[in-house]
Structure 1
Amino acid sequence: MSTIIQAYAVNKAGQNLEEWQYQADPLAATDIEVHVTHNGLCHTDLHMRDNDWGITQYPLVPGHEVVGIVTKTGSQVTEIKKGDRVGFGWIRDSCRVCDHCLKGQENICREGYSGLIVGHHGGFADRIVAPADFAYKIPDTLDSAHAAPLLCAGITVYTPLRTYLRHPAMKVGIIGVGGLGHLAIQFAHAMGAEVTAFSTSPDKEDEARGFGAHHFKILGSETYQSLASSQDMILNTASSVIDWQACFDLLSNDGVLCIVGIPPASDITLPLTSMVFGQKKLAGSIVGGRHFMIEMLAMAAAHNIKPLIETMPLSQVNEAMEKVARNQARYRIVLTSNH
């Protein structure tokens, strides 16, 4: 018999979430059912609520930074058992057989991965049913509230740092001290980098240094000039418009500018001469596959890397979303279960 799930759903773009229930699909042999205890609230949940990307299917139950306790397992599930504490992130499944998937890079699956809340219902509910292969055991030393945002925000910044940070003592600049950036600073510091936090908010300096930044600089013409050719890697986590040419000039030869935050004006113009003769690179990165997710959680546990959070009950999900929309979250909101 399938489970009746109590959830919060939105029925139309621009509307608030309301209490709703639905009948879950029967538990497949490779699925697990999880009693949800915590949800990280990501800005992507707002984009999906409002159908900003044109891919939302209504009614939608958001929530893709999900932590909870396993209550049922399919007949073919062997690595996860009832009572385990696990989490789900943005990726729900992938083709499993392409060259990228076989290397644990499901985030760039050639067939295209399926999202946890794209055509499926997410974690803003008392339970969720999803494939066990994309559930991650939460290390014992990570509490559930701090683990939840790592499942999207954490893996989003860990993947490019792990990919392009070639050796300790690289100079890494993090643009944006927000939901993504404050985690990027911590991971880059733990990886041995000399970290510079770039921000437009002077009041974030003390926090940025507390997260592990060795330097704090206000983005602007003076910074661009004084730090020209100084950074081996720049990770942009901000969603605001940036002077990309000036930012690119911060790179040293053989440096890489990696984008994970996408501003509204998404076109970029770069100086080709500097790119060619300096062997500089422009890259993008999207979440991360299973290989890096497992690494990331282990590293967060080992180095006490955790998001700065505030908790709110799931029943206040609309107030929490409004707070995120107004950029008042510092730095992540975690919704706790009503059940």
Structure 2
Amino acid sequence: MPIATRAFAATAAHTPLSPYSFERRDPGPDDVAIDIQFCGVCHSDLHVANNDLGNTRYPIVPGHEIAGVVSAVGSDVTRFKIGDRVGVGCMVDSCRVCSSCKEGEEQYCVPGMTQTYGSPDPKGAAVGQTVTQGGYSDHITVDQNYVLSIPDSIPLDAAAPLLCAGITTYSPLREWKVGPGSKVAVIGLGGLGHMAVKQAAAMGAEVTVLSTSDRKKADAERMGAKHFLINSDKAAMAAAGEKFDLIINTVSATHEIASHINLLARDGTMVMLGLSTEGMPVYALPLLWRRRRIAGSLIGGIRETQEMLDFCAEHGIACEIEVIAPDRINEAYSRMEKSDVRYRFVLDMAKL
């Protein structure tokens, strides 16, 4: 039987999200049905709801930071059982045969991963769904190969944002081999930035936070940052020149990055994580002069996401959250645009 599902959805660009009902597919042989308990609110949800990328198909149920409990499993499911604490991140399928998928980097699937919301959904045809719908809802059905196990030591509400914010920062820290002795700067102390600070510090790095003001300095230090730098302070920026091996840039709005390149040591890398939609100029000479790099990173594959969850459990790391009822999602979007959250909104789907 199809699973009746309640949700909040965007029905047009720049209009408030509103209650929405639809059906999820009943679990097939390899599927896991999940009662969603919490769903994080990501800045990319706002971009999609507002059609900032120009490809949103309405109505759309955002949400790709999903934590809940297994309610049913298909006949061939071996990894999960009813009652397990599980999570779903930014993808629910991929081609499984391209080089990226075979290497456990499903997020870089060559034909394109099936995103948790907004992707074509051939598996949803039986219940009239042509597009995947996300976690601002009370149920979801996902192939077992794209479901994560949430360690018992992490509360489900604080675990939810790890499925995007947590893996988005963990993946580049691992890719660029951060460890004891590494000097890491984090630009922006928001939903992503605060996770980068906690994870990099737990890996043994010396962490500096760059921000536009000092209002979050105490938070940054509590999370493990050793230094705090105001990026409008030209003298302080000059003094920090050529210091960092890695800069994690989490800012999702268009901003000036050219002056930050000089903070990188030789062979240093700035990794862009924010989903900005406009160009940001840089100059060749500072890159050439020290063999510096600007790179991008998405989320992580399923294997790496599970590794991240286990790492966070081992080190006592979780997102710092503000839990709200789903009917406050439009207020949350408004506050998120003003950076008025410390540090991630999480929807309590029991209050739907």
Q: TM-score range by the shorter chain?
A: over 0.9
1:288 aligns with 2:305: no
CA spacing shift, 1:51–1:240, aligned 2, 3 Å = closer
1:3, distance to aligned residue in structure 2 (A): 1.3
Partner of 1:6: 6
Partner of 2:75: 75
Letter in 2 for 1:232: D
1:243, distance to aligned residue in structure 2 (A): 3.4
Distance between the aligned counterparts of 1:13 and 1:265, measured in 2? Answer: 19
Match 2:196 to one of 184, 197, 210: 184
1:264, distance to aligned residue in structure 2 (A): 4.6
Match 2:155 to one of 140, 143, 164: 143
The range that moved more, 90-99 or 256-265, is 256-265
Match 2:261 to one of 238, 244, 248: 248
The range that moved more, 227-236 or 159-168, is 159-168
Distance between the aligned counterparts of 1:166 and 1:21, measured in 2? Answer: 45
Partner of 1:43: 43
Name the TM-score, length of structure 2 as normaliser. Answer: 0.92
Judge conservation of contact 2:181–2:205 (CA < 8 Å) in 1.
yes
Letter in 2 for 1:68: G
Letter in 1 for 2:191: G
Distance between the aligned counterparts of 1:212 and 1:68, measured in 2? Answer: 29
CA spacing shift, 1:132–1:236, aligned 2, 3 Å = same
Distance between the aligned counterparts of 1:16 and 1:246, measured in 2? Answer: 38
Letter in 1 for 2:143: P
Distance between the aligned counterparts of 2:252 and 2:19, measured in 1? Answer: 31
Distance between the aligned counterparts of 2:49 and 2:13, measured in 1? Answer: 6
CA spacing shift, 1:207–1:101, aligned 2, 3 Å = same
Distance between the aligned counterparts of 1:255 and 1:145, measured in 2? Answer: 35
Judge conservation of contact 1:244–1:270 (CA < 8 Å) in 2.
no
Match 2:282 to one of 257, 269, 274: 269
Distance between the aligned counterparts of 2:346 and 2:261, measured in 1? Answer: 35
Q: What aligned pairs does 1:127-142 form with structure 2 within 5 A after superposition?
A: 127-142=139-154
Identity of aligned residues (%): 38
Q: What aligned pairs does 1:230-249 form with structure 2 within 5 A after superposition?
A: 230-249=243-262
Judge conservation of contact 2:62–2:135 (CA < 8 Å) in 1.
yes
Cα deviation digits, residues 5-30 of structure 1 (max 9, x gap): 12222222222222221122342222
Query: Aligned to 1:202, what secondary structure does the other structure show?
Result: coil
Cα deviation digits, residues 209-231 of structure 1 (max 9, x gap): 01100101100222321111111
Partner of 1:194: 206
Distance between the aligned counterparts of 1:226 and 1:262, measured in 2? Answer: 29
Judge conservation of contact 1:94–1:101 (CA < 8 Å) in 2.
yes
Match 1:160 to one of 172, 175, 187: 172
Query: Any stretches of 5+ residues in structure 1 without a counterpart?
Result: none
Distance between the aligned counterparts of 1:49 and 1:274, measured in 2? Answer: 37
Judge conservation of contact 2:254–2:280 (CA < 8 Å) in 1.
no
Distance between the aligned counterparts of 1:282 and 1:239, measured in 2? Answer: 16
Partner of 1:22: 22
Partner of 2:235: 222
Distance between the aligned counterparts of 1:236 and 1:10, measured in 2? Answer: 29
Query: Any stretches of 5+ residues in structure 2 without a counterpart?
Result: 119-130
1:277, distance to aligned residue in structure 2 (A): 4.3
Query: Aligned to 2:335, what secondary structure does the other structure show?
Result: helix
Match 2:272 to one of 256, 259, 264: 259
Distance between the aligned counterparts of 1:73 and 1:268, measured in 2? Answer: 50
Cα deviation digits, residues 179-227 of structure 1 (max 9, x gap): 1111100000011111111111211111100110010110022232111
Distance between the aligned counterparts of 2:236 and 2:298, measured in 1? Answer: 28
Partner of 1:206: 218
Distance between the aligned counterparts of 2:253 and 2:48, measured in 1? Answer: 19
Cα deviation digits, residues 34-73 of structure 1 (max 9, x gap): 1110011111111111111122221111111011111111
Distance between the aligned counterparts of 1:222 and 1:243, measured in 2? Answer: 17
